[in-house]
Amino acid sequence: MKRWLGVALGIVTSIGGFLEIGSIATAAQGGAEYRYQLAWAIVLGTICIALLIEMSGRFAVASKHTIADAMRERFGIHFFMVPLVLVFFISVLVLAAEIGGVAVAVELVTGIHYPVWALPVALLAWGLLWYGTFSIIENAISLLGLITIAFVVAAVHLGPDWHALAVGLAPTLPAKQPAHYWFIAVSILGASISPYLFYFYSSGAIEEKWDETYFGPNRVIAAIGMGFGGFLSVAVLVVAALVYAPRGMKVEEYKQLPLLLSSPWGRVGFLLFAGSLFITCIGATAEIALALAYKIAQGFGWNWGEDLEPSADARFSVTYTIILLASTLLVVVGVDPLKLTNLSMALTAASLPVAILPFLVLMNDRRYLGDHTNGWLGNLAILVISVLAGIVAIVSIPLEIIGGS
């Protein structure tokens, strides 16, 4: 019974944990400029992250190791440092984008400019981590995150062109601005396939002491949770296609984002958008700060655990405190949250081969997984998606910067 309650919570967690500033902003931009044509990128990203999440849970259950632990053991310190440093710097940018997202949500309601809110927001996230437990963060924020179902209601309410949406599920070449199209496509992939998520998930599985009976529930959580998260992202894209595209608008400023829900529902929609942005971004802030601290603590063999008192794992707790502070500084000095989001999502996509390929090697190691190693289809899917996303991102980021200036 307790296990299936865990499954329900896990699914809710995935839903709450999926949508955040990255997926909201990139889906909104995609919908505004290319209507339904980029729906395939969300679907592809969702399949990829669902596979990766299932793998990281299976890895933790079968090997009793977290991924960071095993990477250090299996590849040694030299190779451990490469993905660590890369994922670390990109995640600090993503974290700053999330803190910016929460700060923007507060600005929307109070009218006071977002950099002022960066420190209070970081303090709130830090307080959750310092004084809270894993289940409080996971469950409370995720349950509140269900507010994002508002995007689905809005999408249906506005009456999408179902045929065009179905066509968008298959990749097609754009009629205009191909470089920009691919930039948005990889940004959507980067927003969906967040490497921090599988560090977070495998640490959670160890922290909650999952045993062999969790192989099945893990599969269900990954498929339904991530699937529903992707569904929410598609809803954002659909709403954007119906709200911005007819007006000929592009999403170039974060202040344009609330229109997603204020267009159908006025003031109430505006507040629903601010609430959605606040909750999903504060959740992502806590998760990313924790994920990075997990990775460092596990890589160096320290005590770690969100459920331990900070005095029992001082290095771990001080690490997430420093990470939060560093990211907050970027928002305090007024770096634009939307630009930061676009850049950090595209960089995430560019880093995918380095972040994911060592993980795939681990997933095929019988010493860790016994009979639970990956099948060829899972290997091939992840390999192709991550390498292609990486290449397209590396090509399209400079083109976007040149084109945008």
Partner 1 sequence: MQVLLIRDVLDNQLIDATGQNAGKVDGIVLELRAGEPPRVRFVEVGPVTLARRLNRRFGDWFARLDARLGSGRGASVRIPISRITLDEPSLRIDLVAASTPIMALEKWLRRTIVSRIPWS
Q: How far is the CB of 315 from partner 1 (least distance, A)?
A: 5
When the beta carbons of 78 and 176 are compared against partner 1, the nearer one is 78
Q: How far is the CB of 298 from partner 1 (least distance, A)?
A: 9
Count of residues binding partner 1 (CB under 8 A)?
A: 27
| Binds partner 1 by CB under 8 A, chosen from 1, 5, 78, 176 | 78
Write a three-state SS string for the chain: CHHHHHHHHHHHHHHHHHCCHHHHHHHHHHHHHHCCCCHHHHHHHHHHHHHHHHHHHHHHHHHCCCHHHHHHHHHHHHHHHHHHHHHHHHHHHHHHHHHHHHHHHHHHHHCCCCHHHHHHHHHHHHHHHHHCCHHHHHHHHHHHHHHHHHHHHHHHHHCCCHHHHHHHCCCCCCCCCHHHHHHHHHHHHHHHCCHHHHHHHHHHHHHCCCCHHHHHHHHHHHHHHHHHHHHHHHHHHHHHHHHCHHHCCCCCCHHHCCHHHHHHHHHHHHHHHHHHHHHHHHHHHHHHHHHHHHHHHHHHCCCCCCCCCCCCCHHHHHHHHHHHHHHHHHHHCCCCHHHHHHHHHHHHHHHHHHHHHHHHHHHCCHHHHHHHCCCHHHHHHHHHHHHHHHHHHHHHHHHHHHHHC
When the beta carbons of 39 and 206 are compared against partner 1, the nearer one is 206
When the beta carbons of 18 and 126 are compared against partner 1, the nearer one is 126
Contact flag: residue 302 with partner 1 (CB under 8 A): yes
Which stretch, 146-154, 164-172, 308-316, 373-381, contacts partner 1 (CB under 8 A)? 308-316
When the beta carbons of 80 and 181 are compared against partner 1, the nearer one is 80
CB-based contact 272:265 (threshold 8 Å): yes
| Binds partner 1 by CB under 8 A, chosen from 112, 318, 380, 384 | 318
Which stretch, 64-72, 85-93, 274-282, 372-380, contacts partner 1 (CB under 8 A)? 64-72
Contact flag: residue 130 with partner 1 (CB under 8 A): yes
When the beta carbons of 177 and 321 are compared against partner 1, the nearer one is 321
Residues 255-284 interacting with partner 1 (rule: CB under 8 A): none
Contact flag: residue 398 with partner 1 (CB under 8 A): no
Contact flag: residue 81 with partner 1 (CB under 8 A): yes
Contact flag: residue 314 with partner 1 (CB under 8 A): yes
Contact flag: residue 63 with partner 1 (CB under 8 A): yes
Contact flag: residue 85 with partner 1 (CB under 8 A): no
When the beta carbons of 64 and 339 are compared against partner 1, the nearer one is 64
Which stretch, 45-53, 76-84, 158-166, 280-288, contacts partner 1 (CB under 8 A)? 76-84
Q: How far is the CB of 88 from partner 1 (least distance, A)?
A: 15
Angle at 241 between CA 238 and CA 246, to 5 degrees: 150
Token duo for residue 263:
């267009």
Q: How far is the CB of 358 from partner 1 (least distance, A)?
A: 14
Which stretch, 43-51, 113-121, 189-197, 295-303, contacts partner 1 (CB under 8 A)? 295-303
Q: How far is the CB of 162 from partner 1 (least distance, A)?
A: 50
Contact flag: residue 29 with partner 1 (CB under 8 A): no
Contact flag: residue 300 with partner 1 (CB under 8 A): yes
Within 10 angstroms of residue 269's Cβ, the number of other Cβ atoms is 18
Please say whether the dihedral angle defined by the alpha carbons of residues 96, 382, 360 and 375, taken in this order, is positive or negative: positive
**Could you list the residues that contact partner 1 (CB under 8 A)?**
63-65, 69, 72-73, 76-78, 80-81, 130-131, 299-304, 309-311, 313-315, 317-318
